[in-house]
Amino acid sequence: MTTVDDLWYLTTQAEQQAEQVYHRLTDAYDDFLERTHSRRVSRSRFRTLAERITETGAPYGAHSVVYRPSGELLLVWHDGVGMWVVPGGEPDPGESFREAAERELAEEAGVSASYDGLAMNVRVDIQCEDYSTWGVLPLFEARPAGDPTPEPDDPDGEITEARWFDDLPEKTRDREDLRAWREFALE
């Protein structure tokens, strides 16, 4: 008996959803930085990410690039990856990417912010064996309300610290993207 591998079908569905989401984002926002990342993952991780992309168009949800007028960026410490990251995560059912980014910011850093638009739209290419697909990673540009002291209250327990940084620490995920965005935003 021959078994049919449904990953081919799943990758096609994921690509169609990613394409729709990509165009919705690029049509809705102006003046943002576009980047591309490639990830090679295990077969089980590939399936998980492809399923997320099929559902939302995004393998890693939506994030916030929060900065003070002084230029300091807000980063949170993610225990699971052992790095400083921008706050963010997956949308809940019925939630837009921007709403998810705002909720995750409140949970992971205890900060409210006003959103100015899209900071970056990252295309994430994902490969595993002979399979490949892609999704989007929207990062929204935001400014904090007032001068808050970040205080994480992450229900998942992954985020244990939140701080403002003038200079990005060495252990910052997607450090080059954040540097490129700073240069782009200051033009």
Of 23-27, 151-155, 181-185, give the range with the top mean pLDDT. Answer: 23-27
Which tens digits make up the pLDDT trace of 41-51? Answer: 999 999 999 99
Q: Is the pLDDT of residue 66 over 90?
A: yes
Q: Is the pLDDT of residue 177 over 60?
A: yes
Which residue's structure tokens are 């200079």? 167
Listed by start position, the domains of the chain span 7-186
Mean pLDDT within 11-16? 97
* 139: its two tokens: 């990062």
Q: In CATH, which of 3.90.79.10, 1.20.120.160, 2.40.50.140, 2.30.30.790 is domain 7-186? A: 3.90.79.10
Mean pLDDT within 109-134? 96
H/E element holding 106?
helix 97-109
DSSP 18-67: HHHHHHHHHHH--S-EEEEEEEE--HHHHHHHHHHHHHHS-SS-EEEEEB
**Coil, strand or helix at 149:** coil
Q: Is the pLDDT of residue 146 over 90?
A: no
pTM above 0.75, yes or no: yes
Q: Is the pLDDT of residue 4 over 90?
A: no
Q: What's the pLDDT band for 81 if we cut at 50, 70, 90?
A: very high
pLDDT at 170: 94
